[in-house]
Amino acid sequence: MLSGLSLAVFLLLATSSAHTTGQPCLYSALLPPGLRVNCSSLNLMEVPPLPSDTTELHVQDNQLTSVPPGLFDRLVGLKKVSLSGNPFHCDCKIKYLRIWLLRNRAVISKEPTCASPSSVAQKAIADLSDDFFSSCAPTSCTDGTYNTMMGVMLCCLIVLLLWSLRLAKTSAFTLYIDERHSGLEANSLRPVRPKHRRRLHTTLSEFSPDSCTEDLEKPLINMELLPQVLDVIQKKHNIKIKAT
């Protein structure tokens, strides 16, 4: 049961919300502990603030067109609710009330119905199909939180990729070449396909040891072009080559 101070606060809120209707809601204590809130036939356009220990709520025969999402979620002690006689407009805003009615049909004294649009007029709100709300965007807090988290994660991923690309551009690679490899011909660095390997093996088998000795004495790659090649590799690809 509400304390005297809490009840006085809610009576004050109800009175302030009743300036446009001329009459406040009536609050009365129940046994076992609970609270009956009677706001019926007051020409209300919206439901007034409700105490958390409300067990009976009567808001029938008013001018309610919708119910704010989450209105009844904190009223865990509700045992009787009257919502009939209100001109509810059944669009996406009525989705919360429809879900709540499906879960709490035992506490509804009389099923509230749609007054508009004409396609669902006089139809019980709880009987509206899921297809009726198929075009409605998600409005739950869970969906909003999930979308926010996914957006933050996506932004972090994009920043990480951009940082990786920038790091790759500014990084320097050093290629060390041993002295015993410094005289390799450029063609020897190219990959050799299997058929070319067989052809090369056949050609080499035809050479005599003397011819191999003569080939080894031939000059290798033109060393005058080597500094230019190294300079191009370093400037365009940021790769430094050092001899060890």
What's the whole-model pTM score?
0.51
Beta bridge pairs of residue 82: 58
In whole angstroms, what is the distance from residue 181 CA to residue 174 CA? 16
pLDDT attached to residue 11: 45
In whole angstroms, what is the distance from residue 195 CA to residue 49 CA? 87
Q: pLDDT of the chain along its 244 residues, tens only?
A: 444 444 444 444 444 444 444 578 999 998 878 899 999 999 999 998 899 999 999 999 999 999 999 999 999 999 999 999 999 999 999 999 999 999 999 999 999 999 999 999 999 999 999 999 998 876 554 555 767 888 888 899 899 888 888 877 776 656 555 555 555 454 544 554 555 556 655 655 555 555 555 555 555 555 666 677 777 777 776 666 665 5
CATH 3.80.10.10 matches 4-139: yes
Cβ(42)–Cβ(25) below 8 Å: yes
- Residue 101's identity, in one-letter code, is L
Cα 41 versus chain centre, distance: 43
Cβ(67)–Cβ(98) below 8 Å: no
Structural domain boundaries in the chain: 4-139
How far is CA 70 from each of CA 21, 55, 62, 76, 140, rounded to the nearest angstrom? Answer: 24, 17, 20, 12, 10
In whole angstroms, what is the distance from residue 107 CA to residue 80 CA? 5
Beta bridge pairs of residue 38: 26, 58
Cβ(79)–Cβ(56) below 8 Å: yes
pLDDT in tens, 30-61: 887 889 999 999 999 999 889 999 999 999 99
